[in-house]
Structure 1
Amino acid sequence: MTREQVVFDTEVNPDWLPIYAATPMELVLTESMPELCSEHGLPAVDRRDFVVNSSGPNSEMPTVRVLLSSMPPSRWSSAEARVRFQCPACEYCLAEVRRFRWIAALSLLAVGLTIVALLTATQLELTQFYIPLGLAVIPGCMPIALLSAVLAWSRSGYFADVWMNDTADQLIVSAHPDFVAAVEQNRAGTR
C-alpha cells in the first residue's frame, strides 16, 4: 500500500490572544477532516485532540533516536506556529494508544516496586539483598524503566503522521488511500 500526502490549509485562530511575545501563533484548519482514520482508512470511532508545532520532527514517531536528536540546544527553539485540530481515530489507533499507556504505567510500577523492595530489605535488615536490589535500582531499573515509560507515553499520543510545511500555512497528512479519496470527495462536493 502506498501512502499519499494530503494538504490542508490553515488560518490564524480568530480566538487566539498571545499572552507572551514568544507565544506560538495558534492556527486552525480551514476545512474539517473526513470521518476516516488517516492511518488505516477505517471509519472513525473517536476524534482526538492533536497539536502539531511548526518546529521539530513532527512527522516522526517518537523513538530513542528522535529523543536524543532533540536534545542539542539547536532544537530547543520554540515553535513559531501551532495548529490544533480534531483528528479522527479508528479502533486500531485507540487500541495502540491504550497499549502504550499500559506499557508506560507498568514501567513506572516496576520502578516503584523495586524501590519498595529495596526499602523493605533495609527495614528488615536483609543484608544479602542490599547489593542486588541496589544494582537493580541504579544501573538497571531506574534509567531503563523510566526511559521506557517516557518513550511509551510519548508514543501513546502519536497516531497520525502529520507535519506542517516550512511556512506553517499548510498541514500535511501522510494518509491511507481511502482517506485521500474521502478528502477529494468532500472537496468536490463543496465546489
Structure 2
Amino acid sequence: MLFETDINPDRAPVFAAAPLELILVEAMPDVCSEHGEPAAESRPFTVSSSGPGSEIPSVGSVLRSLSTSRKYRTGGVRALVRFACPACVYCLHDVRRYRRIALLLLLVIAITIGATIVARYFAAQQFYLPLAFAILPGCFPILLFLAVVLWKRSSYFADVWMADPANQLIVFAHPNFVAAVQERRAESH
C-alpha cells in the first residue's frame, strides 16, 4: 500500500546536512496495518529514507545499526516521515509486554549491584567473587543490551519503509487495512 508524502511546512531543516521532514498527504485509517483490527489508539512513528526503519528490532539489527551509525552522522538520512500509526489492542499488548520485560531486566541489574554493595558492606567475602562475575561479564552488559533491544522492539508497530526517491511511504498491510484505505480513497474521489 502506498501513501504519498509531502514536505512538512512546520519543520524546515536548520542545517544543510539535516534530513528533510516529510508528512503523509492522507491520514491512515483507524485500522491496524499489522493485524487488521480496529485501532485502539494512534502511536507516533518515524521512518527514515536510509533503509527499512520498521525492521523488527533484534540483536542482529541493533548490532547492524551500531555499525552503520557513522552513516547517520555523515548525512546518510535524506528524509524522515513522521506520522500517527494506528495500533490495535494486540499491538498495545506487545508494547506493554516488551517494556515490562525490559524494565524487569533493568531491575535484575539493580538488584545484583545492590547485592554486591550489601555483600561488600557486611564483608561477606564468600559472595565477592560470584557477585563480581555476575555484574561485569554477566548481567550488566548482557542484560542491559537485551533491555535496549526489547525496549526498541516495543516501538515496532507496522512494516513500513520509504520508497527510494522518498516521495512515498510503503506499508506492508493486512487486507482489512488495504480495504479501509481503498474505501476512504473511493469516498474522497
TM-score bin, normalised by smaller chain: over 0.9
Aligned to 1:90: 88
Aligned to 1:3: none
Looking at structure 1, the residues matched to 70 and 170 of structure 2 have their Cα atoms a distance apart, in angstroms, of: 21
Structure 2 letter corresponding to 1:82: L
Kept in 1, the 8 Å contact 2:4–2:26? The answer is yes
Aligned to 2:183: 185
Looking at structure 1, the residues matched to 69 and 127 of structure 2 have their Cα atoms a distance apart, in angstroms, of: 45
Q: What pairs with 1:139-178 in structure 2 (closer than 5 Å)?
A: 139-178=137-176
Looking at structure 2, the residues matched to 73 and 187 of structure 1 have their Cα atoms a distance apart, in angstroms, of: 38
Find 1:137's aligned residue among 135, 140, 153.
Answer: 135
Aligned to 2:9: 14
Find 2:111's aligned residue among 110, 113, 117.
Answer: 113
Find 1:101's aligned residue among 99, 102, 113.
Answer: 99
Looking at structure 2, the residues matched to 27 and 66 of structure 1 have their Cα atoms a distance apart, in angstroms, of: 25
Q: Percent of pairs identical after alignment?
A: 54
Q: 1:187 to 1:153 in 2, by over 3 A?
A: same
> Any runs of at least 4 consecutive aligned residues in structure 1 with deviations exceeding 4 A, and if so which?
none
**TM-score, normalization: structure 2?**
0.94
Question: Does residue 27 of structure 1 match 2:10?
Answer: no
Looking at structure 1, the residues matched to 119 and 52 of structure 2 have their Cα atoms a distance apart, in angstroms, of: 45
Structure 1 letter corresponding to 2:172: S
Query: Helix, strand or coil for the counterpart of 1:71?
Result: helix
Unpaired stretches in structure 2, ≥5 consecutive residues: none
Q: 1:74 to 1:88 in 2, by over 3 A?
A: closer
Aligned to 1:67: 62
TM-superposition CA deviations, 1:57-80 (whole Å, max 9, x none): 313101111111223347633411
Kept in 2, the 8 Å contact 1:10–1:29? The answer is yes
**TM-score, normalization: structure 1?**
0.93
